[in-house]
Amino acid sequence: MSKHTFKTEVSQLLHLIIHSLYSHKEIFLRELVSNASDALDKLKYLTLTDDAYKEIAFDPKIDISFRESPSKTITISDDGIGMNKEDLTNQLGTIARSGTKAFIDQLSGDAKKDANLIGQFGVGFYSCFMVADRVEVLTRKAGEEQAWLWKSDGKSNFTIEEGQREEPGTTITLFLNDEGAEYASRWEIDQLVKKYSNHIPFPIFLSYDQKKYDDKGKETGEIEHKREQINSAAALWKRPKNELTDEDYHEFYKSIGHDSEEPLLYIHTKAEGTLEYTTLFFVPKHAPFDLYQADYRPGVKLYVKRVFITDDEKELMPTYLRFLRGVIDSEDLPLNVSREILQQNRVLNSIRTASVKKVLGEFKSLAENNPETYNEFITEYNRPLKEGLYSDFANRDLLLELVRFKSTSQEGFTSLAAYKERMKEDQKAIYYITGGDEETLRNSPLLEAYKGKGVEVLVMNDEIDEIVVPSIGKFNDVELKAVNRTGAADDLKSDDDKKTEESAKPLMEKLKKALGDRVKDVVASTRLSDSPSCIVADEDDPTAQLQQMLKAMGQ
């Protein structure tokens, strides 16, 4: 037997999970079933693609049983890929992803939200210590002879010793604590599996003992051992749309999206023709917490003819749509499509291109038909869509219709199209201001002249605006102009204004001399009405904030 200590981050995390999420402790079952399902996916894939595994008699399933006395336990067993000693140490002793700290920072104190983070973050296994004070994992890796037994109390240590297991797979036994005692029940397990894991594509069986009754309904004193399937185990996305209800979709989303909230939107598409595929995409109500982290988890899973291929491929959909959760299932890809060449795969490229169009189109109709929901959507996803403006040139026009901005004349968000509608007859451009937070921008002296003339200015306080918006150039033939650039206010000038500027020239020369190298130029301008002066960027220079950003990046 060997004894190991958890990596410090695991200990911290365990402590945190146990103490902050106990009000949603029931998710432990969802997480363990989801791990069992992943393990089945992995072995299924190997049996279909790798000759070394073809001989395995593979009957993928998950078995759950429980015991009420003497001590209460729950056992979850799968015949999936299993783990060897090394896997056990690495997978159940450390946290693979970099961001424990990020996870901890994300914890909001709202147990419901935090409970979702667990699964999204890839630390689901540890949730079992909320309901158990002792956990045993008996596992044998497919293709290997030796089985191993991992044991831990979830505090600081775990042990690994040799074990006995007839077939490859994993059996996890939870020795329930007082918090978890209630789950050693047929009814509870049945409820939880139906609630969270109904659409796991493998059968989940529950075993239980039942008293036997005779014809007259009298107990015979005998006990019958029963085993029944408790999930629907169908690939939901393959079912005809007209057979599915909103609730079916929502439930499916919750089981694959590690989310207890309903999705904001789902988009189910079946393509038949040159390419045959099914896609089912969901937009989470709240942006995934790791949306802006480099090691974010992609949310779209790739299947080939219902066989799971990968959920770790960031290029299945463009990066800016990384908030999508869901499934792509292709009939045309070979099962053993190399994961390395997925990105260049012609079939997948076509699916991706069509899916992006479809999804953006759905966003557009949401904006048109359901502005309230669209507003929720844009509050969460405006920024990634703006990234798309920068990276997805082919869909730029559509994206320009989808993004929203704050404005000096409107409450909430406005679209560029709506701004254009409101433009004054002789207005030459769409004006915007960037380079600070919303309040600073709204109070900027640069806006005075526009306010004076009743011209609307878009308030672009999103950091990304500064990078993306100058590249837009035009929206439907109307130029976008930054008011913090020298040329911008010229449009607003009257002849009188021009005269005033002319007469101020001698003063400007003096100021320029006094300021020397610190400025590029000093000019008189009619853009201010109350403030005496302001600093602007030259038309071709990066604006002040961008200059700072570039500096920070070492440019």
Minimum distance, C-beta of residue 97 to ligand ADP, in the bound complex (Å): 8
Q: Which stretch binds ligand ADP (CB under 6 A): 64-72, 120-128, 215-223, 227-235?
A: 120-128
Cβ-based nearer residue to ligand ADP, 92 or 147: 92
Nearest distance from residue 121's CB to Mg ion, in Å? 9
Residue among 354, 326, 315, 314 at smallest CA distance from 268 = 326
Q: Which among 382, 410, 259, 253 is positioned nearest to 327, based on CA atoms?
A: 253
Say whether residue 257 binds Mg ion (CB under 5 A).
no
Q: Does 99 bind Mg ion (CB under 5 A)?
A: no
The annotation status of 83 as a binding-site residue, yes or no, is yes
279 lies in the site for ligand ADP, by CB under 6 A: no
Rounded least distance, CB 325 to Mg ion, Å: 15
Residue of 29, 64, 83, 449 interacting with ligand ADP (CB under 6 A) = 83
- DSSP line for 446-512: GGHHHHHTT--EEEE-SHHHHHHGGGT-EETTEEEEETTBGGGGGGG--HHHHHHHHHTHHHHHHHH
Binding segment (CB under 6 A) for ligand ADP, from list 30-38, 47-55, 128-136, 215-223: 30-38
* Nearer residue to ligand ADP within complex by CB, 183 or 475: 183
Are 138 and 170 contacting, i.e. CB atoms less than 8 angstroms apart? yes
Among candidate residues 337, 339, 291, 285, the one with its CA nearest the CA of residue 315: 339
Nearest residue to the partner Mg ion, using Cβ: 124
CA 184 to chain centre: 33
From 10, 29, 74, 81, residue interacting with ligand ADP (rule: CB under 6 A): 81
CA of residue 472 relative to chain centroid, distance: 27
- Residue 255 touches Mg ion, criterion: CB under 5 A: no
Quick note: the x/- pattern for Mg ion over 12-51, rule CB under 5 A, is: -----------------------x----------------
DSSP 8-state code for residue 160:
E
Helix (H, G, I), strand (E, B) or coil at 309: strand
Angle at which helices 346-369 and 371-391 pack, to 10 degrees? Answer: 140
Q: Is 122 in the site for ligand ADP (CB under 6 A)?
A: yes
Query: How near is the Cβ of 160 to ligand ADP at its closest, in Å?
Result: 14
Closest CB to ligand ADP among residues 35, 526: 35
Binding region for ligand ADP (CB under 6 A) out of 1-9, 11-19, 77-85, 216-224: 77-85
How many residues make up the chain in this entry?
555
Give the Cα-Cα-Cα angle 495, 496, 497 (nearest 5 degrees).
90
* β 277-283/204-213 pair status: unpaired
Q: Which residues pair with 163 in a beta bridge?
A: 147
Instruction: Name the residue nearer to Mg ion (CB basis): 124 or 169.
Output: 124
Backbone torsion region of residue 433, taken as left when φ is above 0, otherwise alpha when ψ lies between -120 and 50, otherwise beta: beta
How many residues interact with Mg ion (rule CB under 5 A)? 2
Contact 43, 142 (CB under 8 A): yes
Task: Between 170 and 232, name the residue whose CB sits nearer to ligand ADP.
Answer: 170
- Say if residue 84 carries a ligand binding annotation: no
CA angle 13, 17, 20 (to 5 degrees): 130
* Residue closer to Mg ion (CB basis): 82 or 124: 124
The answer to whether 13 contacts ligand ADP (rule: CB under 6 A) is: no
Residue 274 Cβ, how far from ligand ADP at the closest point, in Å?
A: 36
Question: How many C-beta neighbours within 10 Å does residue 341 have?
Answer: 9
User: Which phi-psi region, left, alpha or beta, contains residue 7 (left: φ > 0; alpha: ψ -120 to 50)?
Assistant: beta
Asked whether residue 35 is marked as a ligand-binding residue, the answer is yes
What is the three-state SS of 346-411? HHHHHHHHHHHHHHHHHHHHHHHHCHHHHHHHHHHHHHHHHHHHHHCHHHHHHHHHHCCEEECCCC
388 binds, among Mg ion, ligand ADP, none (CB under 5 to 8 A by kind): none
Nearer to Mg ion among residue 124 and residue 168 (C-beta): 124
Q: Which helix (H) or strand (E) holds 173?
A: strand 169-176
Q: How far is CA 257 from the centre of its chain?
A: 9
Instruction: Give the interface segment with ligand ADP, choosing from 117-125, 260-268, 424-432, 504-512 (CB under 6 A).
Output: 117-125
Non-local CB neighbours of 67 within 8 Å, separated by 6+ positions:
73, 75, 184
DSSP label of 111:
H
State the minimum distance, in angstroms, from the CB of residue 170 to ligand ADP: 4
Instruction: List strands edge to edge, sheet with 265-271.
Output: 265-271, 277-283, 325-330, 300-304, 307-310
Under rule CB under 6 A, residue 170 binds ligand ADP: yes
Min dist. Cβ of residue 478 to Mg ion (A): 50
Q: Is 79 in the site for ligand ADP (CB under 6 A)?
A: no
| Contact pick of 17, 27, 123, 348 for ligand ADP (by CB under 6 A) | 123
Given the complex with Mg ion, which of 123 and 356 has the nearer CB atom? 123
Q: Which helix (H) or strand (E) holds 209?
A: strand 204-213
Of 32-40, 53-61, 249-257, 547-555: span binding ligand ADP (CB under 6 A): 32-40
The residue within the footprint of ligand ADP, chosen from 10, 27, 39, 74 (CB under 6 A), is 39
Tell which positions 105-134 bind Mg ion, by CB under 5 A: 124
Q: Is 129 annotated as a binding residue?
A: no
User: Cβ 165 to Mg ion, closest distance in Å?
Assistant: 21
Cβ proximity to ligand ADP: between 81 and 317 the closer is: 81
Q: If binding is defined by CB under 6 A, does position 36 make contact with ligand ADP?
A: yes
In the shown chain, the binding pattern of residues 86 to 115 toward ligand ADP, with x for contact by CB under 6 A and - for none, equals -----xx-----------------------
Enumerate binding residues for ligand ADP (CB under 6 A).
Answer: 31, 35-36, 38-39, 78, 80-83, 91-92, 122-125, 170
Residues belonging to the binding site for ATP are: 31, 35, 78, 83, 98-99, 120-125, 170, 339
